[in-house]
Amino acid sequence: MTTAPKPQRHSGPGHSAEGSDRSAYAFLAPYLVLYCVFMLAPVLWAFGLSLQTGGLLEGTSYIGLANYSEVWSNPFFNNALRNTALYAIIAVPAAMGLSLATALLVHPLARWWKSFIRVSLFLPLISSAVALAIIWRALLLPGQTGPLNWILGNFGLPPQNWLGHPDWVIPAIAAFQVWSGYGFWVIVLLAGLDAVPTQLYEAARVDGAGRWQLFTRITMPMLRPTLLFLSVMGVIWNLQLFDAVFMLTQGGPANASVSVVYYIYRGAFHFDQLGHSATMSVLLFLLVMGLTLLQMRYGRRDEDA
């Protein structure tokens, strides 16, 4: 008997716009299924695997927390951990210094120039690390006549076996990381500099502040959240270093460039030590989680201030 059109359908009781709403589950279902199968289950399974020893071929057996007590005395794991720490310790401050200098250098310049710089620094960000590593592998060829060595030789610097010498391989891969991620840092810092209100500078200048004071009292404090974000992201990014190691050195020479993720990959898929590798991945997870929580906490504190 109702001939009124559609509106009736949703105006009944119990269907206020913000009432508890079962249709929500229909909207959530596809994502939650994927999340449970490919995120939640793998995380729980990784914890489970870390309590086991063995692999796919020989089968796994429960050994409790033995993996966790064993890793600290395992020289190969300690080596991977040390290498990864070195990658981050070299790459993050280098990227930070270089990108901060670039951003400060470019920021007052003409808009078209800034766009040009942005675009030219952006190329590595959209390229796969594999393609970039193929270029670098050729650039870093050893001997006096390797392309980079030849260029350095013109400045009187001695040739190095960049990827073949244990002392040089970590700085070389860290330099690759800096080069391929540097554009992101600059672009984010330029956006951060744009966000500093110009009134602050004007007011300070009226009060007689010099250029150095403007930098230390206004620019740096205003950039602090951006710098914190970038350094935490940079550390997390470098902790997960894999592509460059796989492409440039396969972990060599003599494990000198093995990163934690490369170690996990090789342990699980070449040596079939699933439990051992899963233990590493759990430890890496705890590290990344700690850093993320730190970042969230301090990021939020800045917003309150």
Partner 1 sequence: MGRLPYLRMLRYLLSGVLAVASLSPFVFMLLISFEHHRVITGNPLHWIPTAPTLTTYTDVLTLSGFGDWLFNSTFVAVVATLAVLLIQSMAAYAFARKRFFGREVLFYLVLAGLMVPGSMTLIPQFLIAGKFGLLNSYAGLILPTLAGPLGVFLLRQYMLGIPQSLLDAARIDGCREFGVYWRIVLPLSLPAMGTLAIITFTAHWREFLWPLLVATDDSMKTLPVGLASLSSQFNTDYGAQMAGALLSLLPVVVVFLWLQRYFIAGLTAGAMKE
- Under the criterion CB under 8 A, does residue 129 sit at the interface with partner 1? yes
Q: What is the distance between the alpha carbons of residues 247 and 228, in angstroms, rounded to a whole number?
A: 30
Cis peptide before 253 (omega within 30 of 0): yes
Q: Considering only residues 61, 128, 213, 216, which one is a binding residue for partner 1 as defined by CB under 8 A? A: 128
For residue 286, the minimal CB distance to partner 1 (Å) is 10
For residue 78, the minimal CB distance to partner 1 (Å) is 18
Triad 70, 74, 75: Cα angle to 5°? 170
Q: Considering only residues 3, 6, 167, 305, which one is a binding residue for partner 1 as defined by CB under 8 A? A: 6
- Under the criterion CB under 8 A, does residue 18 sit at the interface with partner 1? yes
In sequence order, the 6+-apart residues with CB closer than 8 A to the CB of 47 are 278, 282
For residue 283, the minimal CB distance to partner 1 (Å) is 10
For residue 14, the minimal CB distance to partner 1 (Å) is 13
Q: Considering only residues 236, 252, 253, 255, which one is a binding residue for partner 1 as defined by CB under 8 A? A: 236
Q: What angle, rounded to 10 degrees, do the helices at 75-106 and 166-194 form? A: 40
Binding to partner 1 (CB under 8 A) within 59-98 occurs at none
Taking the least distance from each CB to partner 1, the nearer of 119 and 203 is 119
What is the residue-wise DSSP string for 191-241? HHHHTS-HHHHHHHHHTT--HHHHIIIIIHHHHHHHHHHHHHHHHHHHHT-
Q: Considering only residues 24, 57, 206, 305, which one is a binding residue for partner 1 as defined by CB under 8 A? A: 24
By CB under 8 A, which span of 28-36, 69-77, 85-93, 163-171 interacts with partner 1?
Answer: 28-36
> What is the SS3 assignment for 59?
strand
Q: Which residue has the tokens 């070449």?
A: 270
Q: Considering only residues 172, 174, 183, 231, which one is a binding residue for partner 1 as defined by CB under 8 A? A: 183
Q: Considering only residues 65, 119, 157, 220, which one is a binding residue for partner 1 as defined by CB under 8 A? A: 119
- Under the criterion CB under 8 A, does residue 294 sit at the interface with partner 1? no
Binding to partner 1 (CB under 8 A) within 265-284 occurs at 265, 268-269, 274, 277-278, 281-282, 284
Q: Of the candidates 226, 296, 248, 294, which has an alpha carbon nearest to the alpha carbon of residue 87? A: 248
Binding to partner 1 (CB under 8 A) within 144-173 occurs at 144-147, 150-151, 153
Q: Are 265 and 242 in contact (CB under 8 A)?
A: yes
Q: What is the dihedral of CA 134, 239, 188, 97, to 10 degrees?
A: -90
Triad 82, 84, 85: Cα angle to 5°? 65
- Under the criterion CB under 8 A, does residue 188 sit at the interface with partner 1? yes
Taking the least distance from each CB to partner 1, the nearer of 82 and 205 is 205
Q: Considering only residues 1, 2, 5, 210, which one is a binding residue for partner 1 as defined by CB under 8 A? A: 5
Taking the least distance from each CB to partner 1, the nearer of 131 and 220 is 131
By CB under 8 A, which span of 78-86, 89-97, 119-127, 163-171 interacts with partner 1?
Answer: 119-127
Q: What are the tokens at 235?
A: 């550390």
